[in-house]
Amino acid sequence: MAINLDDPKKFRPLAGQAHQVAMNMLRPISRKYDRAEHEYPKELDMLAAMIDGLSESGAAEGAGAAGVRRDERPKDEGAAKNGANLASVMSIAEMCWGDVGLLLSMPRQGLGNSAIASVADDEQLERFGGLWASMAITEPGTGSDSANIKTTASLDGDEYVLNGEKIYVTSGDRSDAVVVWASLDRSLGRAAIKSFVVPKGTPGMRVDRLEHKLGIRASDTATIIFEDCRVPKENLLGSPDVDPKQGFAGAMATFDNTRPLVASMAVGCAKAALDLTRELLERAGVEIDYDRPALTQSAAAAKFLQMEADWEAARLLMLQAAWMADNRKPNSLEASMAKAKAGRVGSDITLSCVELAGSVGYAEGELLEKWARDSKILDIFEGTQQIQQLIVARRVLGLTSAELK
């Protein structure tokens, strides 16, 4: 099969619209909400309404949070499909060219929405369709090891009773509901981990505090406590059956979708830094010549060319992982590769751009220092750089998590 590395024509208008939104709506308020940490960006309400309208009209496939649903097959088995996952990573990259924290604050575009789209059955998809859902996985002492979750969910009649503490929940205070990872039976290990939709206002769930952060300060990051919190058993996403052979593949399927999305955030933020740095270098008289070897040019130009090459590699891995999801191909390896590459490259590029721009890069007169702060989290959440490399090694070597820790 031939590979065409151009952006799909049908998504170019969507990406163009996202870029215009990033430039005209997000960039102008970027510094304002970086300084006003935890203040809700009210300008996003109008933007969310626009996205809802596009999604409902069918004019913008991928304008909303998409999911990886393995049980669905393409209508034409022999045809390659460019679908909602590819559209999402392309549009999110453009939005993050504007501001990562504001993108993460978008109503009804939370990581929990991707979890619902990936794991929920058809009835749940319809019932939770209009919610803004955040996702609660990380716990004190349980960061990268998602299989070691201590939050429990015990069936009591027609309800599950949740107990535990979740930290670093993006949009945890603002969202309408939280998708909570909890264990049905801790003695059964990872196979018993399921995800539950807990609407805000449910007795027994409370937001304990909001975190002060290095970057993505426009986005609220919450600690949430669950104490005898009761949710209907119908709010368990997907199947309640515990299958030791399956592991917690249902819950982990969420990551096959969200890791390319996080990669796209890093790609977009890094592109913003590259674009501005090129402009600043040219203004300073540094010529970047694509027709000459990097070694024959100035150190600044050579560094810039190397960063662009790294950026392009991250972008292509991101597109590959999303395309595979659209075509219902197993993409866990590629999703982790994209997340690992883009997360590391994003941090390297934004910090290097600060360095190349000198005092201009370090000061608040430009957004370069902010992008350097924002990009670091993209190498950490949804699985750290080290965890992604571990997952890639397991997949390549054909080893289980017990065999390669």
Q: Is 314 helix (H, G, I), strand (E, B) or coil?
A: helix
**Is residue 279 flagged as an active site residue?**
no
More confident: 60 or 229: 229
β-strand partners of 152: 163, 183
Backbone angles phi, psi at 150, to 5 degrees: -105, -15
Percent of the chain with pLDDT over 70: 90
More confident: 141 or 69: 141
Domains in the chain (CATH in brackets) are 9-124 (1.10.540), 131-235 (2.40.110.10), 249-397 (1.20.140.10)
Please give the Cα distance from 5 to 333 (Å, whole number): 20
Are 333 and 392 spatial neighbours (Cβ–Cβ below 8 Å)? Answer: yes
More confident: 223 or 74: 223
Q: If you average pLDDT over residues 98-125, what whole number do you get?
A: 90
pLDDT digits (tens, 9 = 90+) for 241-297: 887 666 566 667 778 888 999 999 999 999 999 999 999 999 999 999 999 999 999
Please give the Cα distance from 134 to 258 (Å, whole number): 12
| Number of Cβ atoms within 10 Å of the Cβ of 57 | 9
Residue 61 pLDDT > 60: no
Report the amino acid identity of residue 348. D
Split at pLDDT 50, 70, 90, the class of 63 is: very low
Q: According to the model, what pLDDT value does residue 6 have?
A: 80
Please give the Cα distance from 4 to 34 (Å, whole number): 39
Name the strand (E) or helix (H) holding 400: none
Q: According to the model, what pLDDT value does residue 245 have?
A: 61
Q: According to the model, what pLDDT value does residue 60 have?
A: 47
More confident: 387 or 72: 387
Q: How many helices (H) and strands (E) does the chain have?
A: 13, 7
Catalytic residue among 94, 139, 334, 382: 382
pLDDT digits (tens, 9 = 90+) for 40-49: 999 999 888 8
Q: According to the model, what pLDDT value does residue 309 have?
A: 97
Q: If you average pLDDT over residues 4-22, what whole number do you get?
A: 89
Maximum distance among all Cα pairs of the chain, rounded to whole angstroms: 73
User: What's the mean pLDDT when you consider all of the chain?
Assistant: 90
Q: According to the model, what pLDDT value does residue 403 have?
A: 94
Split at pLDDT 50, 70, 90, the class of 3 is: low
Split at pLDDT 50, 70, 90, the class of 81 is: confident
pLDDT digits (tens, 9 = 90+) for 357-405: 999 999 999 999 999 999 999 999 988 999 999 999 999 999 988 899 8
Split at pLDDT 50, 70, 90, the class of 73 is: low
* Dihedral sign from CA coordinates of 260, 179, 18, 266: negative
For the ranges 96-110, 336-350, 361-375, the lowest mean pLDDT is seen at 96-110
